[in-house]
A = this chain, B = another copy of it.
Amino acid sequence: MKIAIDAMGGDFAPLEIVKGVEQARDRYQEIEFQLYGTAEQVKPLVKDWTRINLIPTTEVIEMGEEPVKAMRRKKDSSMVRAANAVKAGEADALFSAGNTGALLSSAIFLVGRIKGVDRPALATALPSFEGPHDQFVFMDLGANAENKPVHLYQYGILGSFYASHVLNIENARVRLLNNGAEEDKGDEVHKVAHQLMKNSHAFNFVGNIEARELLAGTADVVVADGFSGNAALKATEGTALTMLKQIKSAIMASGLSGKIGGALLKPAFKTIQKKLDYNEAGGAVILGVNAPVVKTHGSAKANAVANTMGQIKIMIENNLVGDIQTFVADHADDLKAAKQALQNDENV
């Protein structure tokens, strides 16, 4: 299998990307890596060229650039060239740690939407601290600022496939992020989405979930609109970070006994921090496009990059995208019927 790599995207690119790719090359014998990047910068960093190819590019999409414009204008950028390689079938998946918006645009406009999927979404696996599984799928994390009910319904399908094919969770319990447990809660979009999901046989919908329960393990797939999904994800990250910082500073301020306590508890804290540090385990995936497209955190170091290659390998091996394509094609009539049943509702 071949992975097209945007070697120039991310805070520590190209150094940490190249280091991560070499780590991944040593771990995963079956992967060939195509590095898209500025030759003068990338070439000196590669220590061993086994299963690594450099495809020289001349442009770089920066973090602050307007996504769609950047993608359209910088045709010889590392990201666009890598995306076009996937489009042309020269690679099986696309990796970048760069501009998220530009990667979304490249995924949707170059790699291409899966026929029948209206709006691709950004998904990630977050830790579950209780319940039967260690992780759950959370989406949309903000690929879309606005969603219609039919998008949320489709996320139930995409998320369930990610749960089964990557997290090894069969018959995933899908919940809709809403401001209450009852089915009549929420704005019009979420009320209609709830009904669509409830009446669907395409996945195992088990009702609404409130953000308070996100980490508690009561769902394997949590579907959210991009705006509130983004808010809930960031509130979760921010709170976890603030608490760890507060605990550390409380330990530092609490005199000798507190410092001894802190030292004794270090292993326990490490366990929790590791579980919370889901960015280290892999990237966020753009689901609903014709190949695995994965975005690692901009500040990802080599180890996170290498772990993400392992995650991409699983997606390719387990035919995640192919199985979604087949399912959506086979159920095109159901999807249309769901839309039609609600055609009088302007929100659908």
Known: A231-B177, A238-B211. A272 touches B247 (CB 8 A): yes
Return the chain B residue nearest A253 by Cβ: B268
Known: A142-B179, A228-B231. A265 touches B271 (CB 8 A): no
Contact pick for A247, options B186, B190, B268, CB 8 Å: B268
Interface residue A260 (Cβ < 8 Å from any Cβ of B): yes
**Cα of A146 to Cα of B228 in the assembled complex, Å:** 12
CB distance from A226 to the nearest CB of B (A): 8
- By the criterion CB–CB under 8 Å, are B261 and A187 in contact? no
CB distance from A272 to the nearest CB of B (A): 5
**Cα of A119 to Cα of B230 in the assembled complex, Å:** 25
User: What total of chain A residues lie within 8 Å of the partner, measured CB to CB?
Assistant: 59
* Chain A stretch 260-317: residues in CB contact (< 8 A) with chain B: 260-265, 267-269, 271-272, 275-276
Interface residue A47 (Cβ < 8 Å from any Cβ of B): no
Chain B neighbourhood of A244, CB < 8 A: 243
Interface residue A188 (Cβ < 8 Å from any Cβ of B): yes
Q: Mark A162-175, 1 if CB is under 8 A from B, else 0.
A: 00000000000000
- By the criterion CB–CB under 8 Å, are A211 and B232 in contact? yes
Chain B neighbourhood of A88, CB < 8 A: none
**Cα of A142 to Cα of B185 in the assembled complex, Å:** 11
- By the criterion CB–CB under 8 Å, are B269 and A264 in contact? no
- By the criterion CB–CB under 8 Å, are A145 and B243 in contact? no
- By the criterion CB–CB under 8 Å, are A179 and B129 in contact? no
Contact pick for A242, options B129, B226, B238, B260, CB 8 Å: B129
- By the criterion CB–CB under 8 Å, are B261 and A238 in contact? no
Contact pick for A254, options B231, B234, B267, CB 8 Å: B267
* Chain A stretch 194-253: residues in CB contact (< 8 A) with chain B: 210-216, 224, 226-228, 230-247, 250-251, 253
Chain B neighbourhood of A232, CB < 8 A: 211, 228, 231-232, 234-235
* Chain A stretch 111-170: residues in CB contact (< 8 A) with chain B: 129, 142, 145-146
- By the criterion CB–CB under 8 Å, are B260 and A129 in contact? no
Interface residue A29 (Cβ < 8 Å from any Cβ of B): no
Chain B neighbourhood of A129, CB < 8 A: 242, 245-246
Chain B neighbourhood of A190, CB < 8 A: 145, 227
Chain B neighbourhood of A276, CB < 8 A: 243
Chain B neighbourhood of A262, CB < 8 A: 261, 265
**Cα of A68 to Cα of B263 in the assembled complex, Å:** 55
Interface residue A257 (Cβ < 8 Å from any Cβ of B): yes
- By the criterion CB–CB under 8 Å, are A187 and B146 in contact? yes
- By the criterion CB–CB under 8 Å, are B265 and A243 in contact? no
Interface residue A322 (Cβ < 8 Å from any Cβ of B): no
- By the criterion CB–CB under 8 Å, are A212 and B238 in contact? yes
Apart from A251-B265, A261-B262, list 5 A-B contacts with CB within 8 A: A211-B235, A215-B239, A232-B234, A254-B267, A261-B265
Chain A to chain B contacts (Cβ below 8 Å), 6 pairs: A145-B185, A213-B238, A214-B235, A216-B238, A253-B268, A254-B265
